[in-house]
Structure 1
Amino acid sequence: MTTYRVCFFFRRHYRAASGEAPEAIQEVFGQYSEGGVMREQELRRFMKEVQGESGAGVNDAIKESKYLKELQKKGLSVDEFYRYLFSDDNAAHPSSPGVYQDMTAPLSHYFIYTGHNSYLTGNQLCSDSSDVPIIKALRRGVRVIELDLWPNKRNNNVKVLHGRTLTHPVKFIKCLRSIKEYAFKSSPYPVIITLEDHLTPNLQAKAAKMLTETFGKILYTPMLESPEVFPSPEELKMRIMISTKPPKEYPESKTKMTSLATTTSHKVPTICGRLFYPITKFFIKEKEHEGQKADEEASSEEASDHEAITNDHELNEHYQEEDPEEGNGKPPIEYKRLIAIAAKKLQGDLTEALKIDPHKVTRLSLSEQALEKAASSHGTELIRFTQRNLLRIFPKGTRITSSNYKPLLGWMHGAQMVALNMQGYGQPLWLLHGMFKANGGCGYVKKPDILLNDNPDQLFDPKATLLPMKTLKVTVYTGDGWRFDYHKSHFDTCSPPDFYARVGIAGVPVDTTMEKTQTIKDCWTPVWDADFEFKLTVPELALLCIEVFEHDVSDQDDFAGQTCLPVWELRTGIRSVSLCDRKGRTLKSVKLLMRFDFIFH
């Protein structure tokens, strides 16, 4: 018996990348041009009628755009007009619009860019502690850095690590020196260091010495132990603030603790009362697998980070010579006076914790679960509390992979410090980065008036049914740039990619929604020409979410870019939108061309 093998070959051709303007853009050009040329008069009319630039705004747009300035005399062809629309000069959200909000109100009137366990390089259980992620966060504009302070094995020095875990420590002084060097590279507004303090009194005194000697005059020390109102970001420019519990809240019996990383390796760490050591190896294996699938362009950066961590040289021994037994067990005055923002955690009754003291302000910390319960039972009380006091939200302890919760619930209840893990990626982080693109990216965003209105009869209720204030109309025309940033087989080995876009709103529950375009097959420059409308009841808290994926029939769809933009800062008209990678870094070439218009009700 003869056996025959039959082979089938499928050949798919790559479509030539097209740089031509989509039909919809050509139609717009036709309305504002004559004889195939858009001259200065038509350009000004387009800027006013379509882009919403009025009067001096038109002149500024032309003046600030090198592209338009060079071509306004001879006019623009349709191709040149199309290239201008895709340029950074025509961005939906300018990269540097400058700080424009009032910065003279108390700190409690602002959302503040906040990180959680800012020193960790990866997961919450066994990653390295380092100053590298702190530097990254400060360069990005983060204004609140969290450090967990623990005694070392000899109980004679201060280290930073995630306590009772396998995380490797970093020296406290190293973190402080890096904070000083990078604190104001991206923003002049204050950096707040929140300390989770597990120190003995003598080590609190040592920590105070490190803080004062490192920061000197830029360390803000309040005149009053319990101020009645917080100072403003403007008053605190180029200053460092310390926020932690006053020492009196730490009984001496609780300060003798040491962490797993400084004791014998036979002690098994726990989380939420359960042993987790048996899953550690499995967890590390899973993280290695995830790392292999992560975006390739992050690899070189992570390698340099690892090198920076492993090449950590010994610091000055000036802070290592004190007798671990020195000190009389009393809280050191020099440490207590450095605390600019006194903190407390929820203990017991929530109603009691949310009571407002007219004579002093404080910072309250709630876990994400505690926030959910509080939002359900004490929503308006939370908002009233946050009009004078600071509220910090932190991830639940079971987020061992450094995952995150959605930040909107905290913001809509007035929480200023919605702390997220910065080590990974995902939509919660994208939302956080998007929120703090606002106000020039300075790390402080003024809370909307609805959250600051202290009239008892007009307190904002996030659960209330409100009428829409405006409608955001969005058109997704096209996208380009993947053909420059990615290899031709990155998304699909056998053919060009099949892109689709997701566009939606993250905000109060009634405003939150997500829509999807059709999938354009076999094309590096997809033209969707898709229209969407989003009714907004609280536009002051709305973020526009944009994501692009490559459809994969046999596997999970491939990520192709994302961004989140503050709705209240969107520039109307036909605009370019730069996309970012999973970690929020702007891609070199990938952009969408979109249109934004508002209808007011």
Structure 2
Amino acid sequence: MKKSKAPSSRRAEIQQLHQCYASGKTTLPACALLRFLHKEQMELTANEETAESLIDRYEIEETARESRCMTFEGFLRYMESKDCCVFDQAHTSVYQDMDQPLTSYFISSSHNTYLMGDQLVGKSHLDAYVCALRKGCRCLEIDCWDGPDMEPVVYHGYTLTTKILFKDVITTVEQHAFEVSAYPVILSLENHCSQEQQEVMAQYLISILGDKLLKTPLDHPTTGDLPSPNKKKVVVAEALSDLVVYTTSVKFISFSHSKDNQNYYENTSMAEKKARKLVKASGPDFVQHNQKFLTRIYPAGSRTSSSNYNPQEFWNVGSQLVALNFQSLGLPMDLNDGRFRDNGGCGYVLKPAVLMSSQRSFDPGCSQHNVKPTHLLLKVISGSNLPVPRSGKALDPFVRVEIHGIASDSRRKNTHTVKNNSLSPHWDSHMNFNISVPELCLIRFCVRDQTGLLSSDFVGQYMLPFSSLKKGYRWVPLRSRDGCSLDPASLFVFVWYS
């Protein structure tokens, strides 16, 4: 059965590519497909066998398949497949070294995990824990208070947020902790309970989590270091002294004080404002501190609506536990989703070498990094099947490409606006970026609807780490505000960097 000839924005561009490599013939022989893979897609390890396996996978016309050729329909099917996604498919599995100490990773972290809404009258709900864990979150916050009948409760203290039972939270964690990731979950307990109810909490942790709970230090060769994520257990932070093995919370005084007095198993928690001051005043010291110790950053108490800060500024100094309100949608959560899409979505991403070097000090506030910048060329060619607003009116779409990294690398550029076309807008827009620290960068493709001279509405977006960006002709799968797939909505782009 042939694919219907529905108008697709990518069709014309893809037809051109197919014709160019088929040299006037109607089908593309395996050797020409291989040339395309090498020259355009930069799939340098591809060989004759690779090309033939793609023909077997995507060509449905039997005669073409038998003669090891690809018709335009097969080529289109290949170009619209995962094999041509802008996100490197090798990074959809865990591929990084998981035997480094915990301090060497960015760890997906949630703040006030129990809340579904704001921090004053919002609902506390077990579903909030399930949602965070399903998004690959590996550090959960649990605020514990004395409850009636010796049952500790979880809620945002001194507010009107609703209360849930501590034992139900731990049961939920036990059920869902390792559903999408096999790597450790850190429970950050903010403990306001009396001695008696703390003992109840300890009993629940032991009886409900059983052997999933880390109760004694692990035997591991890197003595004087935190364990690696490969020690797959639930780790409790900040409370119930006998159960806290690796992540006791201590007050941060100064970087020099930490250097002389802090133990490797102690971590510091600080609000965004204090952390931001330290980033500005002594970035290189912060980077070095985070090579040895875990740092947790959390949103300011003044964010009563559960809004988020930009996590990128704290990843830039190597902070591991950059905690966000997972229930609040928008750019900060898009950045978090993009950062942790890498490494199989397991919630642990190895920090780049630039943040881990003991020889060279790294200052994210400095724009000169004594290295030749990476030149990135992005050609935003076209869009396809963009979601139409409820009004049913066709969009006036444009694409904004954003680079999020150290301050001097962070940029954004827009294509022009195409009038009245949601189905197959065509931009053919070239954008050039110079990036000095690409290994810290995230790239965001955001489609917006021009609603006025200076106003536009969000349509869809996709965020990925620069290190997961594939070269060549690629499609970008768009996602909604809450991170859900908007399939078949997508962009067609060309990517090159050197």
TM-score w.r.t. structure 2 length? 0.91
* 2:29 corresponds to: 39
How far 1:193 sits from its partner (Å)?
A: 0.7
* 1:93 corresponds to: 87
Post-superposition Cα deviations, 1:178-197, rounded to whole Å, max 9, x if no partner, equal: 11111111111111111111
* 1:440 corresponds to: 344
SS in 1 for 2:315: helix
Q: 1:80 to 1:343 in 2, by over 3 A?
A: same
* 2:109 corresponds to: 114
* 1:377 corresponds to: 281
SS in 1 for 2:409: coil
How far 1:422 sits from its partner (Å)?
A: 0.7
Give the 5 Å matches for 1:151-190: 151-153=146-148, 156-190=150-184
Q: 1:79 to 1:531 in 2, by over 3 A?
A: farther
Q: 1:83 to 1:195 in 2, by over 3 A?
A: same
SS in 1 for 2:302: coil
* 1:125 corresponds to: 120
Q: Select the residue among 498, 507, 511 that pairs with 2:396.
A: 498
Cα distance in 2 for residues equivalent to 1:356 and 1:93 = 43
Cα distance in 2 for residues equivalent to 1:346 and 1:359 = 12
Rg comparison, structure with higher value: 1
CA contact (8 A) 1:116 1:419 kept: yes
Post-superposition Cα deviations, 1:93-141, rounded to whole Å, max 9, x if no partner, equal: 1566311111101000000011111110111111111110110111111
Q: Select the residue among 135, 151, 157 that pairs with 1:140.
A: 135
The answer as to 2:474 corresponding to 1:575 is yes
How far 1:405 sits from its partner (Å)?
A: 0.4
Cα distance in 2 for residues equivalent to 1:133 and 1:509 = 33
How far 1:523 sits from its partner (Å)?
A: 1.1
Cα distance in 1 for residues equivalent to 2:380 and 2:390 = 21
How far 1:492 sits from its partner (Å)?
A: 5.3
How far 1:481 sits from its partner (Å)?
A: 2.1
CA contact (8 A) 2:378 2:431 kept: yes
SS in 2 for 1:355: helix
CA contact (8 A) 1:550 1:557 kept: yes
SS in 2 for 1:451: helix
The answer as to 2:261 corresponding to 1:363 is no
CA contact (8 A) 1:192 1:242 kept: yes
* 2:362 corresponds to: 460
In terms of mean alpha carbon deviation, does 505-514 or 547-556 score higher?
A: 547-556
Give the 5 Å matches for 1:151-550: 151-153=146-148, 156-223=150-217, 228-234=224-230, 236-237=231-232, 239-245=233-239, 335-344=240-249, 346=251, 349-351=253-255, 354-357=258-261, 360-455=264-359, 458-464=360-366, 465-466=368-369, 467-482=371-386, 486=388, 490=389, 493=392, 495-524=393-422, 525-550=424-449
In terms of mean alpha carbon deviation, does 56-65 or 389-398 score higher?
A: 56-65
Cα distance in 2 for residues equivalent to 1:395 and 1:409 = 13
SS in 1 for 2:36: helix
CA contact (8 A) 1:365 1:392 kept: yes
SS in 1 for 2:83: helix
Cα distance in 2 for residues equivalent to 1:58 and 1:171 = 60
**Which AA in structure 1 matches 2:127?**
V
Q: 1:391 to 1:20 in 2, by over 3 A?
A: closer
Q: 1:509 to 1:58 in 2, by over 3 A?
A: farther
Cα distance in 1 for residues equivalent to 2:364 and 2:453 = 41
Identity, % of aligned positions: 31
Post-superposition Cα deviations, 1:47-78, rounded to whole Å, max 9, x if no partner, equal: 11111112347745764787436467263344
Cα distance in 1 for residues equivalent to 2:262 and 2:301 = 33
Cα distance in 1 for residues equivalent to 2:270 and 2:48 = 47
How far 1:86 sits from its partner (Å)?
A: 2.4
Cα distance in 2 for residues equivalent to 1:516 and 1:145 = 37
* 1:329 corresponds to: none
Cα distance in 2 for residues equivalent to 1:555 and 1:473 = 27
How far 1:210 sits from its partner (Å)?
A: 0.3
Cα distance in 1 for residues equivalent to 2:454 and 2:377 = 33
SS in 1 for 2:407: coil
Cα distance in 1 for residues equivalent to 2:10 and 2:347 = 37
CA contact (8 A) 1:345 1:366 kept: no
Cα distance in 2 for residues equivalent to 1:200 and 1:65 = 67
How far 1:470 sits from its partner (Å)?
A: 1.2
Post-superposition Cα deviations, 1:17-56, rounded to whole Å, max 9, x if no partner, equal: 7326465444332321131322222111111111111234
SS in 1 for 2:161: coil
Cα distance in 2 for residues equivalent to 1:231 and 1:370 = 28
Structure 2: runs of 5 or more not aligned: none
How far 1:468 sits from its partner (Å)?
A: 4.0
Cα distance in 2 for residues equivalent to 1:577 and 1:21 = 12
CA contact (8 A) 1:350 1:374 kept: no
Q: 1:499 to 1:359 in 2, by over 3 A?
A: closer
**Which AA in structure 1 matches 2:80?**
F
> Alignment RMSD, CA only?
2.4
Structure 1: runs of 5 or more not aligned: 1-15, 246-334
**Which AA in structure 2 matches 1:107?**
L
Post-superposition Cα deviations, 1:285-339, rounded to whole Å, max 9, x if no partner, equal: xxxxxxxxxxxxxxxxxxxxxxxxxxxxxxxxxxxxxxxxxxxxxxxxxx32211
SS in 2 for 1:522: coil
**Which AA in structure 1 matches 2:288?**
R
Task: Tell me the number of residue pairs that the alignment of Structure 1 and Structure 2 aligns.
Answer: 482
Cα distance in 1 for residues equivalent to 2:72 and 2:39 = 18
Cα distance in 2 for residues equivalent to 1:77 and 1:20 = 19
